Structure 1
């Protein structure tokens, strides 16, 4: 923890010579995209995309889980998605899953989540895990990503934006060991290099 504290203390000094990281964006906050991904520390959206401060509106959850939309059910995820689409006017939504995802591994091998019942319950709402082979963790993570995309399409504001063409939805899969980012192609029902 001390190295993180030391870095935070001197952060302003490192940036003082590079004002582009501190200056506001020309038109205020206008993110290019919303980036929904896992809380896993191996996934760093700005590093993957090269985004500057203000260019990505991020939502991070354990296992990049998007809860099913239900009218009257308040969740931080639903509020954050609504804010990005309705207030900030983002035009691109990226849901990014990744290899070696501890949440997906924990769900596929449910015994690993015995000590984390809230996390286990959270992951149960993702999709039908029975259809995922437990011996193929990467396939489980990709299947999980596709399920999150399907749920996001059911959010009313997202559905309206997609049908009008004002909004685009992207499914990315980040391979932690190689740095390769794959893109989900719904028409082909598969992943191709980005």
Structure 2
């Protein structure tokens, strides 16, 4: 914690807030992309994409999960973030980025007993019915969990399309949805293509 605090204290000096780039941020934010990713500490959207402050609007949670619209009738931070990004900020692209070695997806694939983590268990129940049936077919020796993570990205894109704001913007041709799979051990980013396959860009 001390190292983080020391770096936070020196942030203004290290970054140079006297520059025009940061003064412009006080006017408002104008991100072009909503980036939905896992809260895993190894996945840092701005680092992966090279984005500067103000370029991407982030939504992060365990397993990069998008709850269905009006799921259980409860307010959702995810739904609020999506709605604000599209209707207020006017983002034109949404990326759902899953990643290798994901703990949430690993728990689903392995059928881990989560009775001691009721909050986690309830959260993963949002995707368990969609992912568990095929989970047993994954190679248990694959620590990257590639298949289940990629299936989850496809599933979240489907759920996203059910959100009213997403549906309106995509039907109007003002919004594009993208699926990514990030390898934490190699840095490679695989993009979901029109055939439903994840490919490294240019391959």
TM-score by length of 2: 0.88
In structure 1, distance between residues paired with 2:122 and 2:26:
43
Shift of 1:19: 2.4
Distance of 2:126 and 2:17 partners within structure 1: 47
CA gap 1:70/1:92 in 2 versus in 1, 3 angstroms: same
Question: Any conservation in 1 of the 2:31–2:55 contact (CA below 8 Å)?
Answer: yes
Pairing 1:143–2:151 present: yes
Residue by residue, what CA displacement relative to the aligned partner does 1:24-71 show, whole Å, maximum 9, x if unpaired? Answer: 259731001010000000000000111111111000010101001127
Residue 152 of structure 1, aligned match among 147, 153, 160: 160
Corresponding residue of 2:200: 193
Secondary structure of 1:113 counterpart = coil
Unaligned 5+ segments in structure 2 are none
How many aligned positions are there?
Answer: 193
SS in 2 for 1:145: helix
Alignment equivalent of 1:162, drawn from 144, 167, 170? 170
Whether contact under 8 Å (2:131, 2:148) holds in the other structure is no
> What is the CA deviation profile of residues 99-143 of structure 1, one whole-angstrom value per residue up to 9, with x for unaligned ones?
000111112123253431211110111234212235252111111
Whole-Å separation in 1 of the counterparts to 2:182 and 2:18: 29
